[in-house]
Amino acid sequence: MSDNYPVDSKDLSKRGTRGVISAGAGVGLIIVNSILHFPLLGGVISGALVLVGLAGLFGRSKTDKVAGGVALLAGAAGLSTVLRSVPILGAIAGFSSFVIGAGAVALLGYGAWNIFKFVKGLRNRA
């Protein structure tokens, strides 16, 4: 019943922004996960993510530190995927590839839900 009331424009813009960014991040993770299967290119991308993550951890704001931590974890997961030829890391590589893929699907779902709520809110404003 509360879905039929007019929606605040600030809440509406927040949902639209979250939806687009989350869906874009999900697509980006799918692309990165598929690129990680190429050893040289995957190693370069993972190494760059680790460096960006380390730089972000030394940032001033809390947002910089959180984003740096996420980038560092993504880079570490990517490096473990690239190093799948090492016998000990083979199982870890499969698991990290699964986690990256599951994160991508979760981000796509979250983005789709927010875009759906955004469109529904636009209709209620009219």
Q: What is the pLDDT of residues 50-96, one digit of tens each?
A: 888 888 888 787 777 777 777 777 777 777 777 776 677 666 777 77
- Whether 91 maps to a domain, the answer reads yes
More confident residue, 67 or 11: 11
- Whether 83 maps to a domain, the answer reads yes
What pLDDT shows up at residue 6?
Answer: 62
Range of the domain at 52: 9-125
pLDDT at 3 over 90: no
- Give the number of domains in the chain: 1
What pLDDT shows up at residue 116?
Answer: 94
Give the CA-trace dihedral at 96, 78, 55, 51, to 10 degrees. Answer: 150
Give the whole-angstrom CA distance, residue 97 versus residue 109.
19
- Whether 1 maps to a domain, the answer reads no
Give the whole-angstrom CA distance, residue 77 versus residue 50.
10
Q: What is the pTM of this model?
A: 0.70
- Whether 4 maps to a domain, the answer reads no
